Structure 1
Amino acid sequence: MQVTLIFFVIIGIYLFSMYWTQREMVGGIGGALGNMYVVIEKFFPPNFAVLPAIWEPMAQTIQMAILATTVSAILTVPLALLSAQNVTTFKPLYYLTRTFLNILRTIPDLVLAVLFVGLFGIGLFPGILALIVFSLGILAKLISETIESVDMNPMEAMRASGGNTLQVIWYALVPQVAPQFASLVLYVFEINIRASVVLGLVGAGGIGLILNQQLGFYNYPNAMAIIILIFVVVIVIEFISNKIREALL
């Protein structure tokens, strides 16, 4: 009875949400579908003649993701250790680090990009800074939870035999979390590739900035060619990352 009641309550929430969403839409779902056909028709056929001119911004987008992921992976190590309850036994430091990481994760990447673009101007540097902060919140959270789930017996055995904190971390903790660490870094790198495209829409450099310019000039065939290129690059990078993760795990 309880499961059935919960099921119908959820169905009711979905139906109410569908009704309220269409109520707020001008023209409803039918009008949206018609507009979608009109908009999509403008994007075809894509103008692939622009591809030679956008390889450099695409490379800049990949470079942004690589730099941001590398820096955030380095900064994550101390933060993840400090926010892992089984490593940091000093509770005030543990809660302070956790709170700091929670604050980082609550700030959207677009807000970070707008903030850094306002501080440093349009270009790659504010985009890299935004991706570093964005990645740091995700990586530190995931890796700290990985650290908290490790087998504590090797660490306790090293402590009992006289090992100091650094020795315990290096010889008992690192071998257990290293494969997961590498896998999560690759996962965040994939996220950064996608995020760097979006950040370009607010002036943070890369291929997203070019895409935003083409959309602003109503050059929809050029924009479609850029979108296809981004799609292919993301698929290739995701395939390579998956193969690397499978080899590591």
Structure 2
Amino acid sequence: MYKEKEAPPIMLSEAKRWKTSMTVALVAAAFLAAYLYLEIDSVVALTSIPEFIAFFFGNFWPPEFGNTKHYLPLIIDTIFFAVIGTYISAILAFVFGILLSDQTNKIGWLRFIVRLFLSFLRNVPILVWAALLIYIFGIGNMVGLIALIFATLGFLSRSYAESINEIAGSKLEALRASGASYLQIIFHGLIPEFIPSWINWTLFSFEINIRASAILGMVGAGGIGIMIQTNMRLFKYQEAISLIFILVAMVLITEFCTNKLRKFIY
């Protein structure tokens, strides 16, 4: 019987080296094209570093934590923004995830409409949502919450749908073959298997929303970010950097707590 000869190892290594060289060349060409198009002056950028350091330590240092107690309500607002936004988004995203997955929704045109809607939500940056909603609702907490829900809903729905596709298939087909109804398949077949992925994606989204809640405040959507922006505009740099440090501490504490929660659950 005729047996196809395998390519010599030398030829395979040469082809791999050629692909690697082409990849490096394309990446370098893309970087060089962007660099030249933007007309970046490397000399100015490098010589500005000492000036930046001097300005930072001359204006932002040391941090002023004396008024932190006055900012406590805004810090709590930022945390609760993330909590409420994540809760609402997680519930809605589960429904949209089911509609988006081809394992749980066999209606093609409905999946297309849902995918189009969620892609629109996901691809509009959260700051753009906040800026648009300010014209509707005005400056306030409601703007930040709605913008957070819109951005998180698009992200979580796609993540949930991908997880549903991974765990579905043969397990759900077995329930279908046994005559289970659609709701029985969802509640007894999908949800028990989906819970670990749901927890992971939801906690990850909560970490992102803590950061996003602070950023939203910079466009007038409430939270700690609005005071960071206000202090910067009033040249109160030491108070601004203290709030930034508090924000970093909030993010680190959130990541620590969510990691501990994951370990506790699993």
**Percent of aligned positions with the same letter in both sequences?**
31
Deviations 1:52-106 (A, max 9, x none): 1111100010011111111111111210000001111111111111111111111
CA distance in 1, matches of 2:114, 2:30: 37
Query: Could you tell me how far apart the structure 1 residues matched to 2:171 and 2:200 are?
Result: 23
Counterpart-to-counterpart distance in 2, 1:12 and 1:4: 12
Instruction: Give structure 1 stretches of 5+ with no counterpart.
Output: none
Instruction: State whether residues 103 and 168 of structure 2, in contact with CA within 8 Å, keep that contact through their aligned partners in structure 1.
Output: no
Q: Does 1:160 align with 2:181?
A: no
**Structure 1 counterpart of 2:50:** 34
Q: Higher mean Cα deviation, 8-17 or 81-90?
A: 8-17
The residue type equivalent to 1:192 in the other structure is N
Q: Could you give the per-residue CA deviations for residues 159-215 of structure 1, whole angstroms, max 9, x where no partner exists?
A: 111110000011111111111101111111111110011100000001001111000
Give me the whole-angstrom Cα distance separating, in 1, the residues matched to 2:87 and 2:67. Answer: 31
Task: Give the counterpart letter for 2:76 in structure 1.
Answer: A
- Aligned position for 1:91: 108
Aligned to 1:228: 245
Distance in 1 separating the partners of 2:55 and 2:32: 28
Q: Deviations over 1:124-158 (max 9, x none)?
A: 11100000001000000100000011142221121
**Match for 1:179 among 192, 196, 201?**
196
1:67 maps to amino acid: I
Give the match's secondary structure for 1:89: coil
Q: Is the 8 A contact 1:196 1:206 kept in 2?
A: yes
Structure 1 runs (4+) deviating above 6 angstroms are: none
Matched, 1:121 2:138: yes
- Aligned mate of 1:57, from 44, 67, 74: 74
CA distance in 1: counterparts of 2:35 and 2:262, whole angstroms: 39
* Corresponding position of 2:158: 141
Tell me, in whole angstroms, the C-alpha distance in 2 between the residues paired with 1:68 and 1:119: 19
Structure 1 letter corresponding to 2:258 = S
Aligned AA for 1:189? F
- Tell me the number of residue pairs that the alignment of Structure 1 and Structure 2 aligns: 248
The RMSD of aligned alpha carbons is: 1.6
Please give the alpha-carbon distance, in whole angstroms, between the structure 1 residues aligned to 2:238 and 2:110.
Answer: 54
**Amino acid in the other structure paired with 1:76:** A
Return 29-38 or 104-113, whichever deviates more: 29-38
1:207 aligns with 2:207: no
Distance 1:120 1:29 in 2: 41
Provide closer, same or farther for how the CA distance between residues 114 and 25 of structure 1 changes in structure 2, counting only shifts above 3 A. farther
Q: Shift in Å at residue 25 of structure 1?
A: 5.0
TM-score (structure 1 length as normaliser): 0.94
> Structure 1 counterpart of 2:50, which letter?
G
Q: Specify every segment of 5 or more residues in structure 2 that has no aligned partner in the other structure, as ranges.
A: 1-17
Letter paired with 2:130: A
2:87 aligned with 1:67: no
Is the CA contact (8 Å cut-off) linking 1:211 and 1:226 kept in structure 2? yes
| TM-score, normalised via structure 2 length | 0.88
Structure 1 distance, partners of 2:129, 2:250, is 25
RCO comparison, higher one (Cα < 8 Å, 6+): 1
Higher radius of gyration, 1 or 2: 2
Shift of 1:9: 2.6
